[in-house]
Structure 1
Amino acid sequence: MNNIIRLGVLFSIFAAGGVMAASGVTLGPRPAYLVADMDEGALKEKLSSCLNKTPKTTAFSIGHRGASLQFPEHTKESYVAAAQMGAGIIECDVTFTKDKQLVCRHSQNDLHTTTDVLTHPDLAEKCTIPFTPANPETGEKATAECRTSDFTLAEFKRLKGKMDGANPMATTPEEYMKGTADFRTDLYASRGTLMTHAESIALLKELGVKMTPELKEAKVAMPYDGFTQQDYAQKMVDEYKAAGVKASDVYPQSFNMEDVKHWVANEPEFGQQAVYLDSRMYDDESWKPSLKDMAALKDRGVEYIAPPLYALVTVDNKGNIVPSDYAKHAKAAGLGIITWTLERSGHLGNGGGWYYQSVKDVINNDGDVMTLLDVLAQDVGVVGVFSDWPATTTFYANCMNP
């Protein structure tokens, strides 16, 4: 989609109920801010030379839950913002409602932190765990758990998305909903249009981007009212087929290897782009990567593997960020590598948090995100990076052509 057509699409989407005007691919001030914060060197010089370059959409830049650093995740507004920032692939995490309809939510049981469900008394009372206030005297924290499976699709569509977060010491539902992290903002949270999976497909198709749905683990026991895990995995793919989306435009994801095997065996056109989300390094602290293991994944039909950022990098004896053994083995086995998630840790001055744990000793400023991104792209050879603020990955890819 060229920029003129894209401009018209984005403008019409926002004019029909969005939150801001749009003008093609725009990156805003953050890339320049990050480059200015980098340590001096050749990479900073190169990236500085690209600050005035006209950006283009790139599949290297993947919108994680849309543009969820500042927009309510998995909402229309978040997806459109990610496309505006040049994300060539955008994610809908897929779960299901009480009436087994597929919707976009990061987890089946996150409605109490990502939506305004607690402000709807008739719906709040249906939650798996209705809101219970904190007890300031004893220090007991507030509790709530609201699942998509607690509600029909019609009830789900009454909700509005908000920034993910909660106040654990709240004594009212209204206080509980005020938990946005200090490195995020509620500036764009006045609207948060929830979407079905099918609606996300239509929107992303109109925006001219590719799609990477993640089949989320069900929190209810499966089968659910006769709905098996295989039915669930198949239904997700069927909605792309029904919408006329080419398999080459879809990268289905799952942490569950059985889902990946289902797509490879039953939907080979979609299966050849299936992404195995790898959590083994934090599920089992004793687990170690090996070439044999990576080759076995390849033999099962896995083409893409996606671990967290830290699994792909380490620090050498000179203090440089370099590819990890995991990265070397995955590359040697011929696996395409994708990783998650950039721009999700707040300020990096203290080592960057969970996503940066393997390189925390050499992370001390926000600009170091560009150094890490360069290692991932040029040395590890990742084909795409999830980001909560896709402007960062779009800028890098436009400059460095990974």
Structure 2
Amino acid sequence: MSLRPVLAILMVSTTPVLADGHTDTGLTYGPRPAWLISQMDDGALKTRLQACLSQTPTRTDFSIGHRGAPLMFPEHTVESNIAAAQMGAGILECDVTFTKDHELVCRHAQNDLQTTTNILVSDLADTCTTPFTAANGDEDATAECRTSEITLEEYRTLTPKMDAADARAMTAEEYQGGVADYRTTLYSTGTTLLSHAESIELFRDLGAKFTPELKSAAVDMPHDGFTQEDYAQKMIDEYKAAGVPASDVWAQSFNLSDILYWIENEPEFGAQAVYLDDRYEAFDEDEGEIDPMDAATFKPTMQELADMGVNYIAPPLWMLVTVEDGEIVPSVYATEAKSAGLNLIAWSLERSGPLNDGGGWYYQSIADVTDNDGVTYELLDVLAQDVGVAGVFSDWPATVTYYANCMGL
């Protein structure tokens, strides 16, 4: 399947051509960066960002589209990624999982079809591993539908939607709702799902680089003879088949074994492989719950990761910062990682909704100073200037692009 007919419709006819032959969709910040700046407390950072309001947007690898631009577009769709590219994201993400016939597709999880597509109200509803069950008393409505239960051809028949579910739904149709009030369904109609190979074609045509994430399987591995190593290798092979240089790919995984596999078996790709650090969920039998602000409790340590050949590590935003004397500053975790020579990438800005009440999970380490949406740029400034991150994932990449352009990153 070629996406070029879709691109011809969605991309404006006057798009300029970049020096490398790729088309640029015509970049725009839209109104959000200026609005966020207006919400900031007065100070030097606000003044500097305001001085850039008339600047012309340019693409930057510091700005990474997290599943495209899912603040307003259904994630992992053609349209979501075009929007992210139009906001200047230099790197775009396809979360990679596999279908029943072991074809690779872009989904945040192998078992999220019930919240990200219309599968429950389609002819494929009977493939779901957990059929829709209505809410009952204190029990929420439930369902689980996996890409591993359908073929790529069947996957293509699904209609994407904003990632959400109505927990109190009594019918499968009602379950399609539940979109957070700070998101929108305005851009959900007519959106297009992507296979991994199609994402490569699309991102290249948009002039962007690539950061695929190999997602954990919801099924036992091996799956019908398809091993974890086969899975990790197939993802890389699709870039090689497309002629994409390893220097343009940052392959990600929460599974350290995947990172080490790429380092050993695909060293050019392994050099930029990104270990997604979720060790904040770890539990040590002797020490109890791991404190993410105490890097010494992590096993392996930052230096041990570096000694294994890991060059990039990506934790959530809050692990990289803390508060001292009312100011956002780098965390011990961040300083330990930098001391070991690890490159840091943060995830994910613009995912929390309004920040007037502490910001929720992504802002938990700085909740005491998170009381307005302008904190978005205060945090981003610390991440860029003090922590020294190499890039930031965002659900609305214009926010990061604006900052990077203004600061000359």
The TM-score by the shorter chain falls in which range?
Answer: over 0.9
2:376 aligns to what?
369
Q: Which residue of 1 aligns with 2:385?
A: 378
What does residue range 2-401 of structure 1 map to in structure 2 within 5 Å? Answer: 14-16=7-9, 24-120=26-122, 122-135=123-136, 138-284=137-283, 285-287=289-291, 288-290=294-296, 293-316=301-324, 318-401=325-408
Q: Structure 2 CA distance, aligned partners of 1:280 and 1:351? A: 23
1:283 is displaced (CA, Å) by 3.1
Q: 1:57 to 1:94 in 2, by over 3 A?
A: same
Q: SS where residue 125 of structure 1 aligns?
A: helix
SS at match of 2:220: coil
CA distance in 2, matches of 1:92, 1:172: 31
1:136-176 deviations in Å (ceiling 9; x for gaps):
xx333211100001111111000111000000111111100
- Tell me by how many angstroms 1:21 deviates: 9.9
Contact kept in structure 2, 1:213 and 1:253, CA below 8 Å: yes
Contact 1:132 1:143 in 2 (8 A): yes
Per the TM alignment, residue 400 of structure 1 is displaced from its structure 2 partner at its CA by: 1.0
Q: In the alignment, is the contact (CA less than 8 A) between 1:11 and 1:21 conserved in 2?
A: no
Cα distance, 1:18–1:191 mapped onto 2, change above 3 Å: farther
| Residue type of the alignment partner of 1:397 | A
Q: Equivalent pairs: percent with the same residue? A: 63
Q: TM-score, normalised by structure 1?
A: 0.94
> Could you list the per-position Cα deviations for residues 333-387 of structure 1 after superposition, in whole angstroms to 9, with x for gaps in the alignment?
1000001000000000001000000000001000110000000000000010000
Letter in structure 2 aligned against 1:300: M
**In structure 1, distance between residues paired with 2:165 and 2:38:** 33
Tell me if structure 2 keeps the 8 A contact 1:58–1:87: yes
Post-superposition, which runs of at least 4 consecutive aligned residues in structure 1 deviate over 3 A? 10-15, 17-23
TM-score (norm 2): 0.92
Runs of at least 5 residues in structure 1 that lack an aligned partner in the other structure: 1-9
* 1:191 CA drift (Å): 2.1
The Cα of 1:18 is off from its aligned counterpart by: 7.1
CA–CA distance in structure 1, aligned partners of residues 278 and 11 of structure 2: 35
- Name the aligned partner's letter for residue 289 of structure 1: A
Give the Cα separation in 2 of the matches to 1:58 and 1:253. Answer: 19
Measured after TM superposition, the shift of residue 238 of structure 1 is 0.2
Query: Counterpart of 1:261 in structure 2: which amino acid?
Result: L
Call closer, same or farther: CA 1:171–1:21 in 2, change over 3 Å. farther
Conserved in 1, the CA contact under 8 Å of 2:64 and 2:392?
A: yes
Q: Is the 8 A contact 1:128 1:146 kept in 2?
A: yes
Task: Determine the structure 2 residue equivalent to 1:3.
Answer: none
User: Pairwise CA RMSD of aligned residues?
Assistant: 1.8
User: Partner of 2:165: helix, strand, or coil?
Assistant: coil
Q: How many residues align?
A: 389
CA deviations over 1:31-84 (Å, ceiling 9, x no partner)? 000000000000000000001100100000000000010000000000111000
* 1:303 maps to amino acid: N
